Copies of this chain bind each other. A is one copy, B any other.
């Protein structure tokens, strides 16, 4: 039963990956380059990277790995006290568009199995100019979260705002979205929520790229984007849990730093 759920999650992440790759490359006109990698324990993943005409730099990664957590991780990860084994499967996406009219878009969802099992993930965007469908974007997330559980949107939104924050600049990284972890209420409902969020991200990416890719921008717009991206780089190197964990544990450097902006400016 458990393994069946794991496979369902894995299949959905791979399915979503394929949809996203098709949608983004159809709009961009250029293809993703794929690289397979192996995990140092068991399993591995596929990085798909685009350096395109609409997406200046983008990565869509899926991975399915298993192994045993070390003592430090056992202390932090639920359900590993008596048994350090884990299986994990997930999808992670970062898109940095060339146009400053289009926000950077970030998304990930994952399923973890130890003696417990749960979903985690989130979605957030980083505009550098006024982004007009912003209320619509937040409302869409609100609807999905509140359909899942009437109290969750507020919690998931705050988690995102708190997480993507640069204390040394007293400013948020972007416009936020949602962030969640340890979802383990009712598996079918949780999985349904994960699917909804994935579909929402896909549709948001598609609509946003199509609506804004032909909008003109000025040098001053581009300059604002380059400066905003330096804050994005600061966040990832100073605060992002995944990046820090990856760098400290000697993970695949290309996969870990896939999220870094293509070009960033410190004024």
Contact = CB atoms under 8 A, between A and B. Distances in A.
A150 interface: no
Output the residue of A57, A168, A247, A265 with the most chain B CB within 10 A.
A168
A57 to B, nearest CB: 7
A21 B258 CA distance: 39
Interface in A38-69: 57
A260 B57 contact: no
Contacts of A263: 226, 263-266
Contacts of A257: 266
A168 B236 CA distance: 15
A68 to B, nearest CB: 23
A266 B229 CA distance: 11
A223 B103 CA distance: 25
A192 interface: no
A168 B260 contact: no
A261 interface: yes
Interface in A195-253: 226, 230, 233-234, 237-238, 247, 250, 253
A168 B237 contact: no
Contact of A238 (B237, B250, B261, B265): B237
A79 interface: no
A32 B82 CA distance: 62
Contacts of A261: 266
B169 A253 contact: yes
Interface in A139-186: 168-169
A262 interface: yes
B260 A230 contact: yes
A257 B263 CA distance: 17
Contacts of A168: 247, 250, 253, 256
Contacts of A250: 168
A248 to B, nearest CB: 8
A247 B264 CA distance: 20
8 contacts: A57-B266, A226-B263, A230-B260, A233-B264, A237-B237, A238-B247, A257-B266, A264-B264
Given A57-B266, A233-B264, A263-B263, 8 more contacts: A168-B247, A168-B250, A233-B233, A237-B238, A257-B266, A263-B264, A263-B266, A264-B264
